[in-house]
Amino acid sequence: MKRVLGILLVIGLMASAAVAATAQEPLIMGTTDRVTQLAFANSYDHYSWHVLRATTDALMKLDPVTLELKGAIAESWDISADGMEYTFYIRPGITFWDGAPCDAAAVKWSLDRTIRLDGPESGVGLIKGVIDHIDVIDPLTVKITLTMPDAIFLLRMEESLAPALIYSPKSTPENDFANGVYAGTGPYKLIEHVPDQWVKYEAYDGYYGEAPKSKFVIEKLYSDAAALRAAIEAGDVDFVFRTLSPQDITDLANNPDVVLKFFPPSPGVRYLLFNVTQPPVDNPLVRQAITYAVDRGAIIDQVFEGTVDPIYTMVPMVDPPFFGAIDVFPERDQAQAVELLAKAGYDADNPLSLNLWYSPKHYGTTEADVATVIAGSLEETGVVNISIQMLEWGAYTERMSAGGFDMFLLGWHPDYLESSNFLAPWTTESPEGLGTFFNEHPNYEAYKHIMEVATTTADAEKRSKLYKAIQMLSVQDVPWIPLWAMTDEMVMAWLPNVHGCALNITMDVHIERIWKD
């Protein structure tokens, strides 16, 4: 009997060891996305921000299930009666990976540094203009004084915005963008980023919140959608996120060995942008003509097999949390496009020649097809010649912020869940960083005034009317042309032994909530 018990004990220990070993195996995500810079003050793209927010926190956060705004590094806060001062009370005992305390001084240092450096490829404008100064009241209390009342300031301090994230003064250089050189608060530590290959994480044992479900996570970066699909079908990855091709989505949905699910609605938008200072699109008649010539239906049918939806305004039709969305851009009308081009001085004998720029991998592998369809729809007028141009994402963002594009494709994932985030960035917040240079447009001051009144107005109904006004103005000034909602990015595929996969309206995957058997 003792021998039998001994054998059973050994078997039990071996089984426990096997379970422990399984728990230590890395959870592997596949994606076609890429990091630009892991720099809080000089990055502004979905995937770079995904990595940053997986590895540190902000003062506030959104509950991934309920989307309730709650404290993260801050456990509570007060707002002054005039809306000009926000006092945050820091949770005691939070530390960065490097052992430094995450206290009021670290919060002030992080935000001050991010605002001061404000790189050319950053989203710092989302917080910079509204913060006047930051004071440390005591070791666990920090007060932020605003330049004006801001009805959405708590959303600006939420972890979806990389410029609001807090990092260690001990590990990050004072005056350098410091790509990937930082220590955060968790839930994961960044272990390694190899461009175009992978990002590796390890759970931070000192994390103040709920421990991640998986200790080790690897995000593998695949060259295209075909390679991403092959990886999930071969079991080389546990789940995939951003971006499968439309055909791959259809095929994987019928694969019994893979689970695929959509998580609608999508707040992500795809659109054309213009540098309003760059000839020939500096002429508003040209930009207006293109709004009539573009064929959304052809994009949706020929490129996406009906998996995305057309849009006619930049604000998502998702109420709440967005409000004030109205369809303002026109349906296709080639005759009207030709008439406007004629007014601008173009006809069949003197056609309009311009570039259409795109990046081939950042939005999956459909972008070349999108560019081809758009170019074809414009050239069908008989008055337009399009030269399609391509740059990889890093070079693309650099040229964009340097003003080197005339007409170009871009996509938008919400920084914070409020309508102004789909109207302000290209017009009043970061018009140079995002390539529109709308700050040099004659109507810039009007947009700025309307936006400032809207974002300082607590009354949602009044704010909604102001946002509608901006949308209506945009049809005349045309800094953008909304094209389709990114329903195709609200999809994940995973193996049957993987659990916790989900997407919410922030369009980001929470790797800390995912695990496998």
The structure tokens listed for 230 are 């092959």
164 has pLDDT over 60: yes
DSSP character string of 182-220? -----SEEEEEEETTTEEEEEE-TT-SSPPPS-SEEEEE
Separation between Cα atoms, residue 320 and residue 463, nearest integer Å: 14
Residue pair 178/39 in contact (Cβ under 8 Å)? The answer is yes
477 has pLDDT over 50: yes
Name the percent of the chain lying above pLDDT 70. 95
Coil, helix or strand at residue 144: strand
Confidence of residue 93 (pLDDT cuts 50, 70, 90): very high
Q: Which of 6-20, 63-77, 121-135 has the lowest mean pLDDT?
A: 6-20
Angle (CA) 105 108 113, round 5°: 120
Query: How big is the chain, counted in residues?
Result: 517
Average pLDDT, the chain: 93
pLDDT at 24: 52
Coil, helix or strand at residue 305: coil
* pLDDT tens digits along 12-50: 433 333 333 334 589 999 999 999 999 999 998 899 999
The structure tokens listed for 19 are 């379970």
- Which domains, from first to last, does the chain contain? 46-164 (3.90.76.10), 188-265+489-516 (3.40.190.10), 269-485 (3.10.105.10)
* pLDDT tens digits along 424-451: 999 998 899 899 999 999 999 999 999 9
pTM reported for the whole predicted model: 0.82
Half-sphere exposure of 513 (CA within 13 A, CB side): 11
DSSP, res 329: S
pLDDT at 17: 38
* pLDDT tens digits along 379-395: 999 999 999 999 999 89
3-state secondary structure 301-352: HHHCCCCCEECCCCCCCCCCCCCCCCCCCCCCCHHHHHHHHHHCCCECCECE
Coil, helix or strand at residue 126: helix
Determine how β-strand 259-262 pairs with β-strand 269-274.
Answer: unpaired
Coil, helix or strand at residue 404: coil
